[in-house]
Amino acid sequence: MGDLFKSAGLEEAAPRPLADRLRPKVISEVVGQGHLTDPEGTLGRMLAAGHLSSLILWGPPGTGKTTTARLLAEDIDLYFEQISAVFSGVADLRKCFEAAKERRRTGKGTLLFVDEIHRFNRSQQDGFLPYVEDGTIVLVGATTENPSFELNAALLSRMQVLTLNRLDTASMEELLSRAEVLEDKNLPLTEEARLMLYNMADGDGRYLLNLAEILLGLKFDDKLDPNALLQVLQKRAPVYDKDREGHYNLISALHKSLRGSDTDAALYWAGRMLAGGEDPLYILRRLVRFAIEDIGLADPQAVIQANAAKEVYEFLGSPEGDLAIAQLVIYLGTAPKSNAAYMAHKKSLRSAKETGSLNPPMHILNAPTKMMKEMGYGKGYQYDHDAKDGFSGQNYFPDEMNRQNFYKPVERGFERDISKRLEYWAKLREEKN
């Protein structure tokens, strides 16, 4: 019955996701993978020669692995068979191999596409070997994991590994342009919001189109700016329960009194919480957090004192262990304050989210396998211990990213010494580069 519906054209009228409707019809329409699909690329040369070898398509989600495999089969005139390692077992593989044998007898080859091929165990991977070797199937496996680690050597030696890149801004813009043409409408976004949409997609074309489909299906009076876009596409953070407002008010009062170095006020609020029946371990958890958020490296001993107070309380219990809490409050209240580490963390996290999944520079990547070494992993790395002053000054940020300065120590406590050290390294780095 399904074939009858298809032949009648009913299937085409059924709802289909935007990503599916935009699926490329020919290999040249695959975006972002020109290093493989262009005439001079590996796949381009294979297609020109009319011969396809078994492949591993290695790349992040949404980069076109499944689509590429399907188009390769069509171009070479192979029967396309798709299975997923997540849902398939030995029995499913056996059926695929038998069906491929039958097709071969009639002169028809088979491209067996295995999604998430790394999910198969070693023995299951070995099961592919005889059928790949005798040409019963052309095996194309897709994986998001490093094939050097996840595939056994026997199978890997019979396949060519091709790396698919995460989509860059130009590739994602191409996808959005195609979506706008197909839907005959423009995305309701300012230029800044459009760039934010790219960052949210993080190089995943399928996810990008899913976000675009949501926006294209809604009506807006004006174009969305970045803040409005976040309100549409992201969930709001949960709020605290109303019946616990007093609980959070008191811990807030304790935290801010400590931040303001008002030790007496901090002791009062800690006492209020203990007298009200608050869990002392909750107070201690918050104080450990304070030690690293508001004191940090201005006094590296603060977090040690906080952990020690927790251990004392766990050993003594109440009321004897309550004194450890009071002593900790006094120590934290009188310690020099710095949130430099906290701010550095927030800035680095924000930057990490904005830049997505940029790869580390090749020279600082390890190369435990021969394939990775041949690909340039670790080439040019300078061992700092062998460098003058024990400092090479090499770049450790992604190549596509400018150097950032997240951590800015204050002129208080121990961070005063750290600041001098960082200034010295910055001077050396400038001299070496």
Tens digit of pLDDT for each residue in 381-406?
999 999 888 999 999 999 889 999 99
pLDDT at 223 over 70: yes
The pLDDT score that the predictor gives to residue 150 is: 84
The pLDDT score that the predictor gives to residue 239 is: 36
* pLDDT tens profile 98-115: 999 999 999 999 999 999
Closest CA to 293 of 343, 347, 247, 352: 343
Q: Average pLDDT in the 237-251 region? A: 57
Confidence of residue 244 (pLDDT cuts 50, 70, 90): low
DSSP string for 33-85: -HHHHSTTSHHHHHHHHT----EEEE--TTSSHHHHHHHHHHHHT-EEEEEET
- Measured in whole angstroms, how far is the alpha carbon of residue 236 from the centre of its chain? 21
* pLDDT tens profile 2-32: 455 555 555 555 678 999 999 999 999 999 9
Domain map (residue ranges) of the chain: 33-163, 169-233, 242-334, 355-432
**168 contact partners, CB below 8 Å, separation of at least 6:** 32, 203
- Fold classification of 33-163 is Rossmann fold (3.40.50)
pLDDT at 139 over 50: yes
pLDDT at 279 over 50: yes
Q: Average pLDDT in the 307-325 region? A: 95
Confidence of residue 253 (pLDDT cuts 50, 70, 90): very high
- Measured in whole angstroms, how far is the alpha carbon of residue 89 from the centre of its chain? 29
The pLDDT score that the predictor gives to residue 241 is: 37
Q: Is there a contact between 166 and 203 (Cβ–Cβ < 8 Å)?
A: yes
Q: Which CATH architecture has domain 242-334?
A: Up-down Bundle (1.20)
**pLDDT, mean over the chain:** 90
* pLDDT tens profile 39-84: 999 999 999 999 999 999 999 899 999 999 999 999 999 999 999 9
Q: Average pLDDT in the 168-172 region? A: 94
Q: How many CB atoms lie within 10 A of CB 87?
A: 10
- Least confident among 82-91, 136-145, 403-412: 82-91
pLDDT at 297 over 90: yes
Given the structure tokens 């580069």, which residue do they identify? 433
> HEC states along the chain?
CHHHHHHCCHHHHCCCCHHHHCCCCCHHHCCCCHHHHCCCCHHHHHHHHCCCCCEEEECCCCCCHHHHHHHHHHHHCCEEEEEECCCCCHHHHHHHHHHHHHHHHCCCCEEEEEECHHHCCHHHHHCCHHHHHCCCCEEEEEECCCHHHHCCHHHHCCCEEEECCCCCHHHHHHHHHHHHHHHCCCCCECHHHHHHHHHHHCCCHHHHHHHHHHHHCCCCCCCECHHHHHHHHCCCCCCCCHHHHHHHHHHHHHHHHHHCCCHHHHHHHHHHHHHCCCCHHHHHHHHHHHHHHHHHHHCCHHHHHHHHHHHHHHHHCCCCCHHHHHHHHHHHHHCCCCCHHHHHHHHHHHHHHHHCCCCCCHHHCCCCCHHHHHCCCCCCCCCHHHCHHHCCCCCCCCCCCCCCCCCCCCCCCCHHHHHHHHHHHHHHHHHHC
- Least confident among 12-26, 77-91, 151-165, 293-307: 12-26
Tokens describing residue 178: 């195609």
Put simply, whether the predicted model's pTM sits higher than 0.85 gets the answer no
pLDDT at 368 over 70: yes
Confidence of residue 235 (pLDDT cuts 50, 70, 90): very low
Tokens describing residue 116: 């998430």
Q: Is there a contact between 270 and 254 (Cβ–Cβ < 8 Å)?
A: yes
- Least confident among 119-123, 127-131, 180-184, 281-285: 119-123
